Amino acid sequence: MKYIDANVFVNAILYDTARGDSCRKILGRVVSGQTACTSTLTWDEVTKVLKRERDRKLAAREGERFLQFPKLTLIEPDKEILQEAQKTFEHYHVEPRDAIHAATAVMMGAPIISEDKDFDKIKSVTRLSYKQALANKA
């Protein structure tokens, strides 16, 4: 199981670059059966960034595609996750949304695929860069 951070989806959609290609390959592995999850809050992040960077129409279309993404488990932040996020937020001084992502990944026993180096501060989290995620076949 891998935890997919919002930036993987955003980069896959917005950029026709090596980074975008890497993200599309990562997401392609999920479609092909690699077990993966993300928080339901990822929908908010993806649509917000797409709306800001491009337009509402793209954000709406990609938000719907996200909700239909095959073989991706969406995890709702329950009280247990939020309590863990609170501890992470206080101890590591990360953004609240990153604390929720980290807590969700920890609860799922999953490394986070992300280029966000803020996750490196959090001792209980293993962050995989896109390159590491692609090198890791499991």
Q: What is the mean pLDDT of residues 56-75?
A: 97
pLDDT tens figures, 82-99: 999 999 999 999 999 999
- Cα separation of 47 and 35, whole Å? 23
For residue 120, give the amino acid letter: D
Specify the number of domains making up the chain.
1
Indicate which CATH number applies to the domain containing 19.
3.40.50.1010
pLDDT at 138: 60
Structural domain harbouring 89: 2-135
Whether the full predicted model's pTM is greater than 0.75, yes or no, is yes
pLDDT tens figures, 102-126: 999 999 999 999 999 999 999 999 9
pLDDT at 136: 81
